Chain A
Amino acid sequence: MRPRGEGIVRPRTAASALLRLVLFAVLGLFVLYYLLPLLVMVATSLKPLQEILTGSLISLPHQVTFDAWGKAWNTACVGVRCDGLAPYILNSALMAVPAVFFSTMIGAINGYALTKWRFPGADTIFALLLFGCFIPFQVILLPMARSLGLLGLAGTLSGLALVHVIYGIPFTTLFFRNFFITVPKAIVDAAKIDGAGFFRIFFRVLLPLAPSAFVVTVIWQFTQIWNDYLFGVSFTAGDSNPVTVALNNLVATSTGVTEYNVDMAAAIIAALPTLFVYAVAGNYFLRGLSAGAVKG
């Protein structure tokens, strides 16, 4: 997204200079609008509880303390277990890494086979896969819960990872198909004439062209899977909960006074991995969003 060559509002006259000022004021207000909740979260997490109960939501902490962070990390109670969020962060990581890896690899080879070896029916198969992007997952919750039970995976992290791989395939296939379709057919044809086969062309010719498609897909999948709540709450139990479910339980678990500082520290901890990814690779994140947007 490059800025266009020439803007429409140009600072030439006093009136347009004023317009420019208004423009920046409005943009600045919205910067505050989006940042304030995050600042409130950080400030609250650094205050002692007494200061929260007597002070103001938007004031900076007088007395900075990291106690709430420590507690949110490994002593806060989630349900009856009081080990903080740390074990659930580990759960999410153990589940997300293989789920992202397998769904991305499957999507890559699918996208390649569907675009560069267009067998009869390839478009129909793609359309049927694509449908999986749009269904409300409520419609598969009951049979999935039952199937995981039959497979002996009910309430396990492996079961949750499997679910994420399955319902990630439509998205990853979409991303890679849209990428590989832009790769000129001539490149593949030249490799074929050189005698390269299906897998050789994939690994030696197409994959080296696709690092950006991989980054976009991995970021999309990681964000989706890390932030998922519906599958996590439906298919895991207690010790196998991912971090989103644990965070919600932590906030809901209150014995006596609600510790808002611990809640906020926990929320930031749960958000940090995806925020970090967004901070270092925001443009790829945006491309994933718009790629997902092309077809809804």
Chain B
Amino acid sequence: MRTDGRRLLANPETWLPRLVVAPSFAVILVFVYLFILWTLYISFSHSGVMPNYRFDGLAQYIRLWHTPRWYVALANLGIFTSLFMIGCTAVGLLLAILLDQRVRAEGVIRTIYLYPMAISFIVTGTAWKWILNPGLGIERVMQSMGFTGFHFDWLVDSRMAIFTVVIAGVWQSSGYAMALFLAGLRSIDDEIVKAAAIDGAGAFRTYFRIMLPMLRPVFLSVFVILAHLAIKSFDLVVALTNGGPGYSTDMPATFMYAYAFQRSELGMAAASAVMMLATVMAVIVPYLWSELRAGRQ
């Protein structure tokens, strides 16, 4: 034993790396894994205003799935996620292809396209809340331009308000998609592009038949990132509509927050958080799996 101890002291490199990583590992074990288990347990418990560790089976989930507000949140998540992903991908891809044409001042243009990613969703929401203001915003601009019958009150229309979240969300995040697509296009070998040009393929053919199919992994990354952003979106809704009018623009993230901190229904809040985690995992796990497998090959 003594010789072992001496060898360890003389050769700290055998244990130092592990010792250095250990605190982070422990912190993540507690604050990620243990906390998820805690939330999971609370979602199966009888918790109301205070955590209560009495096991209550699926009762919270049954209540959750009998709450109309939860269905509104899910429907909004569906609408928002699909339109947000379509919008960001379409705008991002278009801009990436256009910027790939040896454009002068490309750096400046790229910087402008991407700056919304640097600001907080709260700022974006505040700005768009003003721009879309019924009465003083876009509506009045259009009316003063002669379209006197123009009405735009989506922000206060409970059926249309979710689309204002899409508008602001696409404005903020489409530059991100552009940057990822552009990096993908630039990573394609010049020789392939030249070969296509020599074969007489036009610009559009080159892109749609040759380059875009090569971007499949980039498309996958963009979809996963955007879906991930969409499922977690919280700040933008809070700043733009605060879930309103009524709870018509609620999303799972705002639903969870409202039940946890405003209505003090911890069990329901935990159950909705678990549903969110399950949704994110359903998107991320297959992606990571394929990435890791590709990395190993």
Q: State whether these chains interact.
A: yes
The chain A residues found within 8 Å of chain B, CB to CB, are: 1-9, 23-24, 26-27, 30-31, 33-35, 37-38, 40-41, 44, 52-53, 56-58, 106, 109-110, 113-114, 117, 119, 122, 125, 128-129, 131-132, 134-144, 146, 166-167, 169-170, 173, 197-199, 223, 226-230, 233-234, 244, 247-248, 251-252, 260, 263-264, 266-268, 270-271, 274-275, 277-278, 282, 285-286, 289-290, 293-296
CA distance A51 to B179 in the complex (A): 39
5 A-B pairs besides A3-B106, A34-B171, A37-B171 with CB distance below 8 A are A34-B175, A138-B273, A169-B27, A229-B122, A230-B235
Instruction: Please state if A4 and B186 are interface contacts (CB–CB under 8 Å).
Output: yes
Are A56's CB and B144's CB within 8 A?
Answer: yes
CB pair B129–A251 under 8 Å, yes or no, is: yes
Establish whether residues A52 and B276, one from each chain, have CB atoms under 8 Å apart when the complex forms.
Answer: no
| Distance of A227 Cα from B126 Cα, bound (Å) | 13
Q: A140-B31, A290-B180 are in contact. Are A135 and B277 (CB under 8 A)?
A: yes
A197 interface neighbour in B12, B94, B136, B175, Cβ under 8 Å: B12
- Chain B residues near A260 (CB-CB < 8 A): 130, 133, 136
Whether the Cβ atoms of B38 and A4 lie closer than 8 Å is no
16 pairs of residues in contact across A and B, judged by CB atoms under 8 Å = A4-B102, A27-B99, A109-B20, A119-B18, A135-B280, A142-B51, A142-B266, A229-B239, A244-B235, A247-B123, A247-B126, A260-B136, A289-B176, A290-B183, A295-B291, A296-B228
- Given A170-B28, A248-B238, decide whether A135 and B127 contact each other with a Cβ distance below 8 A: no
Q: Which of B1-9, B57-65, B112-120, B156-164 is the contact stretch?
A: B112-120
Residues in B with CB closer than 8 Å to A2 are 186
Please name the 3 residue pairs, one residue from A and one from B, whose CB atoms are nearest each other, closest first: A7-B102, A117-B17, A227-B120
**Cβ of B86 under 8 Å from chain A:** no
Q: Which of B98, B115, B288 contacts A278 (CB 8 A)?
A: B115
In the complex, B69 has a CB within 8 A of chain A: no
Q: Are B126 and A251 in contact (CB under 8 A)?
A: yes
**A197 vs B12: C-alpha distance in the bound complex, in angstroms?**
8
CB-defined contacts of A119 to chain B, threshold 8 Å: 17-18
Q: Cβ of B90: which chain A residues have Cβ within 8 Å of it? A: none
Q: How far is the CA of A77 from the CA of B280 in the complex (A)?
A: 38
CB-nearest residue of chain B to A292: B225
Q: A8-B206, A143-B35 are in contact. Are A132 and B28 (CB under 8 A)?
A: yes
Taken together as a complex, chains A and B put the C-alpha atoms of A135 and B39 apart, in Å, by 13
User: Which residues of A sit under 8 angstroms from B257, Cβ to Cβ?
Assistant: 138, 141, 230, 233-234
Instruction: Among B98, B122, B141, B175, point to the contact of A56 (Cβ < 8 A).
Output: B141
